Every structure is written in C-alpha cells, then in structure tokens.
Structure 1
Amino acid sequence: MTSTRNESVDRAKMLQEWRAWVERIARAAARILPDVEVYAFRGKAGRETSAINVLIVSNNVPGCFLERASLKARIEEAAGLPYNHPFRIHLMGRREAEFYKHNIQGIDKIL
C-alpha cells in the first residue's frame, strides 16, 4: 500500500478540493476498468460538509459484492486515497446506474 493511505488527512480540505480528488479517482478507475464513466454528487443531506458520492459505471463491474469491494479497494489505492477519505464510491453496471443518472439532482459527469 502507498504511504498516503497510512497518513491522517484533513477531510475538510479534501471536501474543499473534491473535484481534483474525484478526477484522481476517475483516472484510477479508467486504468483498472474499460468503458468507464464517472459521476459525482453530494450526499442526500446536500451540506458542504457531507461526503461526496462517486458513481463509477462500467459494464465490467462484477456482480459479486465481494469482488466489487475488492475492485473498490484497488481503485482507492490506485487513486492514493487515505483510509479516512470523505468519498462514497459506488460501483455499478450501466443498467444499475440509470436510476442515479436520471434521478439524482446535481449529478456531475467527471469522466
């Protein structure tokens, strides 16, 4: 694991710089998954201090939840995210993601 994942990080600063971090997550996902799309949206609370949701969409997302968890960990590590990061990463196939893409207000396509 990278040293960044072992260091404490200022979550508030990461939230202020959310776009740069989400772009890192998107680039990491693109290196691991083909045909990837990445979207970002605020949590349901919509507050500035709430977590940022990152929706990673690919037809190559595994159906098994354990495999998805492993894939998510690989993306987090490749992006250099610390353990206590403020991003909620959701991995979905294209059909699963349609609800989010059409029903979540403020969803922003990153990649």
Structure 2
Amino acid sequence: MTIADDALVREKVVPNRLRFDWLVRRRFMTGAIYGTCVAPDDLLRRSTVFFCSMLKAAYCGLRALLVVPRLDRCTFWIMRSVFHFGVLSGCIKPPKREVYGLSAPVQN
C-alpha cells in the first residue's frame, strides 16, 4: 500500500459531521485516546504528558486569541488546544468506548 497525494476522494458525508462542534468533539476524543494510550502503566510518564499537555493547551489557546481576525489560523489553534485538552482528559480517565455501525451492544 502506498500514499497517493493526488488522489481524489468522493464520499458522501453526513451533514452533521461537517459542523464545527462535531469536529471539536472528534479532536477532543482523539486527544483523549492518545492520553490514555501514551503510557498506561507508567505514572511518571503519564504525569509528564499531563503537565506538558496543560502547557500546550494554554499556549494554543493564547495563540488562538492572538490571531482572532484570521479565522483559518484561529480555528487551527483552537483545534490544537482542544486536542491537548483531550490528552489531559485521557491521562485522567480513559474515554468511554463507542462502537459505530452495530445495532446490538458489544459483549466484552
């Protein structure tokens, strides 16, 4: 398998997945999963990731405030900040597992 940089993808997207709030939730959950997986058995490493993410979230939030007139850059920094808040959350508590596309609950 290779990467095709010039590939065109045409896929129908559910309209609610094109909304900013859905993208924010997705970015947050991506961070939460990363925060959970980064060091499941190493408290020192997890603590380090937690505090670094706290600083990164604050930095990204500040950068977003500095570029408010430029919507594209402001959105970029907001999304980065949301990711790092997700990492913070994942370091504290793993996200609830959600399975898509199944009509019946999954048995663990």
TM-score by length of 2: 0.29
- Compare the two structures and name the one with the higher helix fraction: 2
Higher-Rg structure is: 2
